[in-house]
């Protein structure tokens, strides 16, 4: 395996990708392809019909729908949770902007070659290992409750501030690894070409390595940002009134869980369009390169 370049079919697996795909869908010809689509549609419809029938006829369905799917409660809690969700949006927009820059710096520092930079490589590696290892909720607790408790002059005590710091610390560690994978995926011959033209190490990184690396990491980067956006709900634990906390408040006032459904709706409304946007960006970049036009 080690002698096989990435992307090339290995000797044990000589079937080209196209063949494999048509094999999975169950046939190569056009008629067979149409039949496969029809079968997929029918089996999906049957599956979900059975699922709905089973759930709706379950013994606890009436109680469940009253507690979780109360239309009136839903509409009533929607505006308040929507206002609280603006806090989530602020949280992730600020955190993402900082993470984007900070993670790049960490990744570049970690990629510095040579023995002189060993301490820097060691520190950045230790940081990424540590903060990918600790559950996000513990970081939020430690900083959100711990840091203000120190009562050091000049240290902010606002839960919002520490919420941002916690999310930045955790997600910088993840995103730095994504950047690093991207940097390492750029073949060293690209660096050789850049350096041979007289570009400095930094210029090679800036103009040749990073642009290629960043293009490749857009999808995994987005994945981490979706995670970050969802994790903004965790900062409810240190007293930030955001969408999830608001839903808890609404729910405890009426003993009805429907507000959480409203809360979930806001998160989905934000994350799905973002995912589509990034897909579109990736497709556009590929189109532009293949078309050769600007």
Residues lying near another protein in the complex (CB under 8 A): 189-190, 192-200, 203, 207-208, 211-212, 215, 288-294
- Tell me the Cα Rg of the chain: 25
- CA angle, corner 36, sides to 31 and 40, nearest 5? 150
Query: Smaller CB distance to another protein: residue 104 or 240?
Result: 104
Question: Which runs of consecutive H residues, i.e. helices, occur in 197-257?
Answer: 201-204, 210-231, 243-254
In the complex, the smallest distance separating the C-beta of residue 208 from another protein, rounded to whole angstroms, is 6
Alpha-carbon span 205 to 191, nearest angstrom: 8
Query: Smaller CB distance to another protein: residue 36 or 199?
Result: 199
Q: Is 1 helix (H, G, I), strand (E, B) or coil?
A: coil
In the complex, the smallest distance separating the C-beta of residue 57 from another protein, rounded to whole angstroms, is 57
In the complex, the smallest distance separating the C-beta of residue 220 from another protein, rounded to whole angstroms, is 18
In the complex, the smallest distance separating the C-beta of residue 188 from another protein, rounded to whole angstroms, is 10
Residue carrying the six token digits 């999310």: 167
Query: Smaller CB distance to another protein: residue 121 or 206?
Result: 206
Alpha-carbon span 25 to 86, nearest angstrom: 43
In the complex, the smallest distance separating the C-beta of residue 288 from another protein, rounded to whole angstroms, is 8
In the complex, the smallest distance separating the C-beta of residue 257 from another protein, rounded to whole angstroms, is 49
Query: Smaller CB distance to another protein: residue 208 or 226?
Result: 208
Query: Smaller CB distance to another protein: residue 19 or 285?
Result: 285
Query: Smaller CB distance to another protein: residue 29 or 189?
Result: 189
Query: Smaller CB distance to another protein: residue 151 or 196?
Result: 196
Q: Is 150 left (phi over 0), alpha (psi -120 to 50) or beta?
A: alpha
In the complex, the smallest distance separating the C-beta of residue 108 from another protein, rounded to whole angstroms, is 18
- CA angle, corner 220, sides to 275 and 269, nearest 5? 20
- Report residue 162 as tokens: 């520490």
Buried-state track 39-73, b at ≥16 Cβ within 10 A, e below 16: eeeeeeeeeeeeeeeeeeeeeeeeeeeeeeebeeb
């Amino acid at each position: 395996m080690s002698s096989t370049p990435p992307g090339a079919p290995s000797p044990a697996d000589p079937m080209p990708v196209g063949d494999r795909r048509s094999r999975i869908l169950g046939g190569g010809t056009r008629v067979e392809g149409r039949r496969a689509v029809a079968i997929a549609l029918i089996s999906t419809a049957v599956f979900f019909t059975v699922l709905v029938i089973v759930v709706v006829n379950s013994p606890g369905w009436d109680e469940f729908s009253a507690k979780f799917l109360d239309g009136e409660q839903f509409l009533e809690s929607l505006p308040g949770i929507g206002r609280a969700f603006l806090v989530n949006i602020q949280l992730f927009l600020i955190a993402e902007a900082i993470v984007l820059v900070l993670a790049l710096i960490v990744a570049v520092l970690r990629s510095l070659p040579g023995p002189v930079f060993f301490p820097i490589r060691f520190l950045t590696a230790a940081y990424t290992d540590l903060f990918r290892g600790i559950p996000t909720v513990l970081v939020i607790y430690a900083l959100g409750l711990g840091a203000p408790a120190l009562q050091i002059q000049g240290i902010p005590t606002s839960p919002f501030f520490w919420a941002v710091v916690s999310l930045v610390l955790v997600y910088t560690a993840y995103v730095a690894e994504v950047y690093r994978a991207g940097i390492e995926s750029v073949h060293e011959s690209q660096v050789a070409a850049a350096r041979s033209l007289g570009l400095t190490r930094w210029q090679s990184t800036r103009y040749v390595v990073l642009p290629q690396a960043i293009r490749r990491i857009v999808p995994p980067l987005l994945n981490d940002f979706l995670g970050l956006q969802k994790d903004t709900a965790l900062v409810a634990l240190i007293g930030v009134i955001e969408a999830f906390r608001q839903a808890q408040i609404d729910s405890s006032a009426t003993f009805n869980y429907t507000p959480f459904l409203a809360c979930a709706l806001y998160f989905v409304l934000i994350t799905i369009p973002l995912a589509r946007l990034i897909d579109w960006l990736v497709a556009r970049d590929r189109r532009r390169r293949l078309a050769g036009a600007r």
